[in-house]
Each structure stands twice: as C-alpha cells, then as structure tokens.
Amino acid sequence: MNFEFDADTEEMCAMVVAFAQRELAGRGEAASSTLDVGDFRRRWQLAGEQGLVGGAVPVDYGGSGLDAVASSAVMEALGYGSGDAGFAFSIAAHLFASLMPIVEFGTEEQKREWLPALCSGERIAAHGITEPEAGSDALNLRTRAVRKGDEYVLQGGKCFTTNAPVADVFVVQAATEPNGGFFGLTAFIVEAGTPGLSVGPVYDKVGLRGSPTSDVHFDGCVVPARQMLGAEGMGASVFSASMKWERVCLFAIYLGAMRRVLESTVGYAGDREQFGSPIGDFQAVSHRVVDMTLRLECARLLLYKAAWGLARGSQDEIAPALAKLAVSEAAVQLGLDAIQVRGGLGVVEGEAATFLRDALPSRVFSGTSEIQKNNIARALGLGKNRRPHRRH
C-alpha cells in the first residue's frame, strides 16, 4: 500500500490550496438568502479555469480526466484552502451528482452537447431528486414524466436542490412508471428556462450558506426524449452511480476542512494560557485534540480506500457508505471539540463555529447516517431479506 500521492497530484493540490486561500476564503458566513449571483458566477468561472468544476470528466469532453483518488485529493485541498465550505460543496455537487451521470450514462451526442460548457465554468448544473415526500425513500417520487410522442411532460417538484438558484442545467429524476420501484424512475437533462420549469426562493440554511439551494417546480415542462439520460427506467441506476461518486469524493472536502480546523485548534491550545500554562498542557485538552486527530485519520483512510475502489470500478456498496458515515460523524464531533477547546471564543466567533454549522448537514445529505447504516447492514446480509444463519 502507498499512502502518498504522486508528484503531479501533490502539485495540483498545492495549486488548489493557494487558489482557494486567495479567492474563496472568508465567504462562508454570509446568509444564504443574500445570494450575490454575479459574485457567485465570477468565483465559479475562476474555479472552472482551475479545472475544479470538471476535474473527473474525461479530457475529451473538457475535463481533466482525474480518477476518484485524484478527485478526492483535489476536493480535500479545496476544503483545506477555502473558508467557504458551501461554495466547495456546490462545486462537488455539480461535478459528482450531475456531470458524472452524464459521463457514465449519456450518449456521445449528449456528452458533446452538455459537458464542455459545464466543465469550463461557463454553465452550472444541479441534480434534482429529493421531494417533500421522498427524501430517504428516493424511489417513491411523485414527480411524473409522461411520454407524448418524442417528448416527455414533467409535472411535480423537487426540494433542497443544490445550485438550483444559479443552475443552467438540471439533471432531474422523475417517475415514468408510478410504483415501479427501482425500474420506475427515469433521468432527464433539462435546460434552465424551459417553459414550465421554475425555481423557488433561496433557502436560508444553518450551514453551507455559500451553496445556493431552493425548490424546483415542473408544471407541464416539456423535455425532448433525446434529453433522457440512459434508457427509460434507468433513473435509479443513474442516481446510485452518482451517489457513489458523491459519497466518496464530495466528502473529501470535509477532510480538508477538518485538517484546517484541527491545525488551528492545536495552535490555539498551545497559545492560550490558563492557570499559568498553555491549555494544551492539560491532559483533558490534549486528549481531546488527540481524539480529534484520531477521528480525522480514521475517516480519511476509509474515504481513500473507497476512492481507490471506485477508481478501479469496484461495485462494493459498503466502502462508500462507510466513508460517508465516518467522515460526516467525525466532522460534527470535531467541530464540537474545536468549540469546546476554544471555550467562549468558539461559541461567539471564528472558524470552529462556522465549521460546525457546515458539518451538521453532512449527516443528512447524500443519505442520512441512519440510511448509510441500513445500506451497510443490507450489504452485510442483514435485514428482512437476509438468509437464515446456519448454527454449528
């Protein structure tokens, strides 16, 4: 096993950290509802020029052709260098939940038509699947797609849609066969501005404030059949594939942010004095910092193990779920610990409080921690459909 990146990846990550520190630092505290679309797109274009918004897309379609390991390393560098985890989250959601499904399931014509502008930073993508009555139960969608000749008519709505307020392109999941289960969903590429598609007000969120999020509504939205992604009934497969990328590579952002907060916490514990000594000299504080380090390193190993498998085409369901679960739970606890070490300063100001707010949603999106445990248990053979265990 080799725990080091190659020289090209190391150089790329150093460039990403420098870019993020220069262009993306200190923006994560602004309220979500005060979205400055012009500034968001300006930074997005800069990220596109750095190759961040299309990194995992093959070179032939405008991307950098990075595998899952290198993509995770870049996202980790972005999380480390940027004080705006929300903006980094928007980049990752665009790339892994929207572009990679087009890469894996799109026709050659679709790839040539949509991917270059999405990789360059000229256009922004959003992925719509979550609905008010279909969050964890993602197969029970109420948004319908009815075929009429060479077109589909979409009716329904999505909620919690990342990038919706700024998106130019939507990858949308709809039911073409209601109650059809895994084979009842179909994915579509829908362009913003299509009649019948509208976007609701921007959410004001607890964390990830730099990531614009809103509802999306479809009222008789007509989509050409040529914009179907994959075959009819393949929507769940498209979604599952995108979640493998998202649950691994996106969560590397949190690894970088955790490392940044851990480093500042070590610095604070070494400088802050109480009772005539730096607080890091006290075992209660030093052991808490050690626990923070342990959680980060364990989560990082699980994530890169999953990335290694994804890069090699592994169909393992457990590794991505374990990685997502470990990183999200470690991030929340590390945020709590960072605040505890800082005491009152951790509560009223600074990166610890910002990081904790950004970490809290990680236990919910891309499948809650409880859903990940269900997925892992099912993959282990536990649950309602498990095989009887033979006693010896």
110-113 own/partner pairs: CB under 8 Å, 24+ apart: 110/189, 110/226, 110/227, 110/229, 111/61, 112/61
Cβ–Cβ under 8 Å, residues 343 and 288:
no
Whole-angstrom distance, CA of residue 214 vs CA of residue 264: 33
Cβ–Cβ under 8 Å, residues 227 and 187:
no
The reply to whether 232 belongs to the active site is no
Q: Which two tokens stand for residue 90?
A: 């928007």
Of the residues 113, 246, 273, 351, only one is catalytic, namely 246
What's the alpha-carbon Rg for the chain, to the nearest Å? Answer: 21
128, 61, 54: which is closest to 95 by C-alpha? Answer: 54
Whole-angstrom distance, CA of residue 140 vs CA of residue 301: 34
Task: Determine the residue type at 58.
Answer: P
Helix (H, G, I), strand (E, B) or coil at 143: coil
Helix (H, G, I), strand (E, B) or coil at 60: helix
Q: Which two tokens stand for residue 255?
A: 């690894």
Whole-angstrom distance, CA of residue 73 vs CA of residue 101: 21
Cβ–Cβ under 8 Å, residues 263 and 255:
no
H/E/C letters for each residue in 260-294?
HHHHHHHHHHHHCEECCEEHHHCHHHHHHHHHHHH
Whole-angstrom distance, CA of residue 171 vs CA of residue 157: 13
Q: Which residues are known catalytic residues?
A: 246
